[in-house]
Amino acid sequence: MEKTRILISGLGGIAQIAHLPILSKLDNVEIVGVCDIDRSKARSIAAKYNVKNSFKDIDEMLDTVEADCLVVTTPTSMHKDQAIKGLHKGLNLLVEKPLARNFDEASAIVDAAKKAKKLLMVGMNNRFRPEVMMQESFVSAGEIGEVFYIKTGYLKKRSTAEKWSVKKAESGGGVFMDLGIVILDIALWMMKFPKIKSVSAVNFNHSFKDVEDSSFVLLRFENGSTVSIETSWTLHRANDMFYCNVYGREGSTSMNPLRIYKNMHDTLVNVTPVKIEKPANLFKRTYEYELNNFINSVQTGKPSLSDGSESLDRMKIVDAIYESAKAGREVTFK
The per-residue pLDDT for range 95-150, each reduced to its tens digit, is 999 999 999 999 999 999 999 999 999 999 999 999 999 999 999 999 999 999 99
2 pLDDT exceeds 90? no
Q: Tell me, what amino acid is at 226?
A: T
- The mean per-residue pLDDT over the stretch 90-98 comes to 97
Q: Is 95 helix (H, G, I), strand (E, B) or coil?
A: strand
> How many CB atoms are located within 10 Å of the residue 121 CB?
26
pLDDT digit string, tens, across residues 285-317: 999 999 999 999 999 999 999 999 999 999 999
> How many CB atoms are located within 10 Å of the residue 173 CB?
26
pLDDT for 256 equals: 83
CATH number for the segment(s) 4-125+286-307: 3.40.50.720
Measure the CA–CA gap between 330 and 292, rounded to whole angstroms.
40
pLDDT band at 1 (very low <50, low <70, confident <90, very high): low
Measure the CA–CA gap between 174 and 167, rounded to whole angstroms.
8
- The mean per-residue pLDDT over the stretch 195-201 comes to 98
Domain ranges of the chain: 4-125+286-307, 127-280+313-332
pLDDT band at 161 (very low <50, low <70, confident <90, very high): confident
pLDDT digit string, tens, across residues 3-36: 999 999 999 999 999 999 999 999 999 999 999 9
Pairing of strands 69-72, 92-96: parallel
Measure the CA–CA gap between 36 and 43, rounded to whole angstroms.
9
Query: Is pLDDT larger for residue 273 or for residue 222?
Result: 222
323 pLDDT exceeds 90? yes
pLDDT for 278 equals: 79
- The mean per-residue pLDDT over the stretch 153-167 comes to 87
Least Cα distance to 219 among 211, 210, 229, 209 occurs for 229
Task: Report how far apart, in Å, the C-alpha atoms of 186 and of each of 114, 150, 151 are.
Answer: 24, 10, 11
Residue by residue, DSSP assigns 270-282 as E---S-----SSH
pLDDT digit string, tens, across residues 229-277: 999 999 999 999 999 999 999 999 999 889 999 999 999 999 999 887 7
Enumerate residues 6+ apart whose C-beta is below 8 A from 220. Answer: 196, 197, 198, 199, 226
Q: Which CATH superfamily is domain 127-280+313-332 in?
A: Dihydrodipicolinate Reductase; domain 2 (3.30.360.10)
